[in-house]
Structure 1
Amino acid sequence: MVEPDDNKARNPPPSIIPSTGAENTTPEPDFSAYSWKNFFKAVAGTLSYDDAMKYLEARDTLKVEQDCKRCESDRDWLLKNSPIVTFMQQQIALLGGDLNPTNIRCRRCPTHKKGGFSEDYGILLCANKIKARGEMEDTIAHEMVHAYDHLRFKVERWNLRHQACTEIRASTLSGECRFTREFFTKGQWKLSSHLQTCVKRRAAISLLARPGVRDDVHAAKLVNEVWDSCFGDTRPFDEIYR
């Protein structure tokens, strides 16, 4: 679960469940790292990993307003025009939930994740990590599946089998594991059983961020334990949408 990263917010806007927690804060980045010298080193492949992280952190902080405006524009467009996003929004509404621009929020994220869902805050979109509208569509759809599961199946936060199941469903139904996306953006070339392989990999990676998951072996074990019932459950779709 990813909590919103907004140091300025004191009263978060309403989500599908009222907020009761505080938002996370992050240390001030080293702005001196954001320089042309480090940029050219990064292009040449000579910038160390630690210096590259400092460069990106400073860049993301300095460009946060620009990134968030672009993110919000793409979010609003998708809420009106994306078939999968509008469908999931309607299905969530039928369960008594409400996801809209007030609780699908764009923020700068200090992690490598592109987004997250919290029953306390709604959906977080990491404006500094999502670079294209298609990527955002997959991210919103993924997090909307989590929101749907939370309302429809009462997913328990600390039940790791529940968490494994919703991660499987989100990766399966959002479209993030369709062959063209993996082929062109992730360099995944495998044709046979591509969807299942991708979903298992992504679900296990997502589980690693959850408290109680010890390592990648434990994460893979949890995914395998619930695989048969969760991969085959395509609700609210009649079949895998894309």
Structure 2
Amino acid sequence: LRRTLVPIVKLLKEHLEKSGCSIGDKFIKPVHCDKHISGGYVRAEGIVVCSNHMNIQDEVNKVVIYELIHAYDDCRAANLDCYNCAHRACSEIRAGHLSGDCHYKRELLRGFVKIRGHEQWD
């Protein structure tokens, strides 16, 4: 992530801090990942970005925003249980929508051109 944060990243970090969830300079970490994933959020540890699977800055930004939304959900929802399928699904849907991951332009780039069935997962 560049030193100059994209506005939404800055906003999410500020709201995490205001909610009482302190995040330090090492909350977001670039790592080398063996699995082909973009990154993830781990409670009490922070966000990892799989830098070896990122080609452009926009991909890094998207992953950081998506995972910061998970961190915010974890911070704000006192009873969030990541092993509860309903809780997990709710957080995934929020992250997908609020991060822009489900935006129709991203869907088109993935090859999903139909309007019907637009946000269905396999």
Q: TM-score, normalised by structure 1?
A: 0.47
After the TM superposition, which segments of 4 or more aligned residues of structure 1 sit over 2 Å from their partners? 98-101
Would the alpha carbon gap of residues 122 and 81 (structure 1) be closer, same or farther in structure 2, given more than 3 Å must change?
A: closer
Question: Structure 1, residues 172-228: CA drift from partner, whole Å, max 9, x if none?
Answer: 1101121222212x11212x357xx33x42xxxxxxxxxxxxxx6xxxxxxxxxxxx
Give 1:91's aligned residue.
15
Question: Structure 1, residues 84-104: CA drift from partner, whole Å, max 9, x if none?
Answer: 111111111111123343120
Give 1:169's aligned residue.
94
Would the alpha carbon gap of residues 100 and 180 (structure 1) be closer, same or farther in structure 2, given more than 3 Å must change?
A: farther
Give 2:26's aligned residue.
102
Matched, 1:143 2:67: yes
- Kindly provide the amino acid, as one letter, of the partner of residue 174 in structure 1: S
**Aligned residues with identical type, % of pairs:** 31
Q: Structure 1: where are the runs of 5+ without partners?
A: 1-74, 202-215, 217-242
Cα distance in 2 for residues equivalent to 1:120 and 1:90: 18
Q: Whose Rg is larger?
A: 1
Q: Structure 2: where are the runs of 5+ without partners?
A: none
The count of aligned residue pairs is 121
Q: Give RMSD over aligned pairs.
A: 1.7
With a CA cutoff of 8 Å and minimum separation of 6, indicate the structure with the bigger relative contact order: 2
Cα distance in 1 for residues equivalent to 2:88 and 2:22: 22
Matched, 1:130 2:54: yes
Would the alpha carbon gap of residues 76 and 98 (structure 1) be closer, same or farther in structure 2, given more than 3 Å must change?
A: farther
Would the alpha carbon gap of residues 149 and 187 (structure 1) be closer, same or farther in structure 2, given more than 3 Å must change?
A: same
Cα distance in 1 for residues equivalent to 2:16 and 2:91: 15
Give 1:43's aligned residue.
none
Cα distance, 1:150 vs structure 2: 0.3
Matched, 1:181 2:106: yes
Cα distance in 2 for residues equivalent to 1:162 and 1:149: 10
Q: Contact 1:109–1:126 (CA<8 Å) still a contact in 2?
A: yes
Q: Contact 1:76–1:101 (CA<8 Å) still a contact in 2?
A: no
